[in-house]
Amino acid sequence: MEVLTLRRIGMQLLALGFLLTSVQPAHGIPAFARKYGLPCSACHEAWPMLNNFGQTFKDNGYQVGNGRDAPIYQEPTYWPITFRINTSWHRESNNRTAVDVIPGNAGGGQVERTVTTSGFDVNSLDIVTAGTLSSNISFFVQPFINSGSSSLAQAWARLDNLGGSRWLNLKMGKFEMDELISQERILTLSGTGGSYFNYFFTPLGDNNVFEGIGVPQLGVELSGHSDNDYRRYSVSVLNSNSGQSGVPSNNTYDVYTNLNQAFEVPKLGMQRVGVYGYFGQSPTYFQTSGGIPISGTGMGNRSFSRVGAYGQWYVGKFDFQTFYMHGQDNVFLGNSVPANQPASLPPGAKAPTWNGGFVEAHYDYNPRLILIGKYELIRMSQEANPGIRSNAGNLDAWTVGYRWYPIMNPRAGLAWVQEYGRVLNTGAAPLSGKDDISNSFLMGFDFDF
């Protein structure tokens, strides 16, 4: 049991590693700046992170509301396409990677060794086209190109301000969940700092197809907001297949909702608090033909949830983002057992639950320099079965860094970035079951046109 579990742990880590190296960069959209003549800093605290003016612009359907939003009013220099690319030098290190005792000899046994890699790198290219198709119809298309392969990361259209009301906006397609602390607009880029781990976490031994609230999903979203964007709501109905397009739904639908309210604190600034919940059902097995699963025929659906609260706090030149998540997967999902084989559940199997969260602090020295510090943790409160050590899968991660924007004008932006981060996965070392620690150092340019 132990070996099987550990192998699964290894696979989880590999998956995590792949995800980390291919994580989609986030969005600052100079095309909008070009359209309106505004600087990046008007909409972004420090791009890609949005400030309230930018969030309001986004919630209004990428419209400023001055009668010049429809595409026919484009300025001569407006070209509705944005490119984003990072070039960097970075160093990754992991303290317990399984390596062959004799390099090249697969049968000679393995040990855990520290493995360090470093060098220049160019991350994936992000292309975004977004804006208004006409007054009150907005769109967003984001192809994602990485290592020669490409996919559609997001593609949606939205009917804005239905019936003239800001409370009714309908979005359809593949889209990022309505999250004010957004994975798509994260400020850090490195292997350890480039993700909010809570947004992607799946406990050890779990085969839930749901990859997390940080992954764009397929479905419809109804959202709305008050005039000054202080009160916002959204409710989405989504496919239960974690946003994989081309594969029809697994016969069930998930629901995601986000409610938040902002308020002013005199002398400090604007604060916002919110609650969210993702309630879904994932299949535990499929109909098969000749032993091969028929896609879209998920069966044995079992429920899972990700709920929590978050806050965005402005205190003078500082701003903080706080996040809490409580996650729970059904016992069958947690143990990777089909629901029609309850006898296969290991004795003492339970539904895995965990709590996690992060605090991210920024010091906004001026619109061109932001200092970043982040600490994130995940704690399992209930493992899927007694065979898994009680704190296996726990995670502690921190990142520090800064972004400096020597070029920031309505045409394009350039940031110089330096980051250092460290993540500790409890009990995740592939051979010994000890703690697995990775750290990364990154410095480079983040270029946005």
Alpha helices, DSSP H, located in 179-301: 197-200
Query: DSSP state, 25?
Result: P
Shortest CB 38 distance to another protein, Å? 6
80 is a site residue for another protein (CB under 8 A)? no
Q: Is 227 in the site for another protein (CB under 8 A)?
A: yes
CA dist., res. 35 & res. 373, Å (int)? 33
**Residue 371 binds another protein, judged by CB under 8 A:** no
One of 266, 290, 291, 347 touching another protein (CB under 8 A) = 266
Closest contact distance (angstroms) between CB of 277 and another protein is 27
Shortest reach from residue 59's CB to another protein, in Å = 10
CA distances, 270 to each of 62, 300, 390, 424 (Å): 22, 46, 40, 34
Residue 165 within binding range of another protein, rule CB under 8 A = no
Alpha carbon distance 167, 234 (integer Å): 10
Among 8, 19, 21, 53, binds another protein (CB under 8 A): 53
Give the count of residues interacting with another protein (CB under 8 A).
29
Give the contacts of 385 (CB within 8 A, at least 6 positions apart): 205, 334, 335, 345, 346, 347, 348, 349, 350
Q: List the one residue out of 136, 169, 142 whose CA is nearest residue 154.
A: 142
Beta-bridge mates of residue 261 = 231, 273
> Which candidate, 266, 226, 193, 149, places its Cα nearest to that of 419?
193
Would you count residue 410 as binding another protein (CB under 8 A)? Answer: yes
Q: Residue for token digits 């397009």?
A: 245
Q: How many other CB atoms are found less than 10 A from the CB of residue 83?
A: 14
Q: Rounded to the nearest whole angstrom, what is the least distance from the CB of residue 256 to another protein in the complex?
A: 25
The least CB distance from residue 26 to another protein, in Å, is 20
By beta-carbon proximity to another protein, the closer residue of 88 and 182 is: 182
Please say which residue, 331 or 408, places its beta carbon nearer to another protein.
408
Select from 8, 10, 17, 64 the one that contacts another protein (CB under 8 A).
Answer: 64
Residue 273 as a binder of another protein (CB under 8 A): the answer is no
Cβ of residue 189: shortest distance to another protein, in angstroms? 23
Residues that bind another protein (CB under 8 A): 36-39, 41-42, 52-53, 55-56, 64-68, 75-77, 227-229, 264, 266, 269-270, 366-367, 409-410
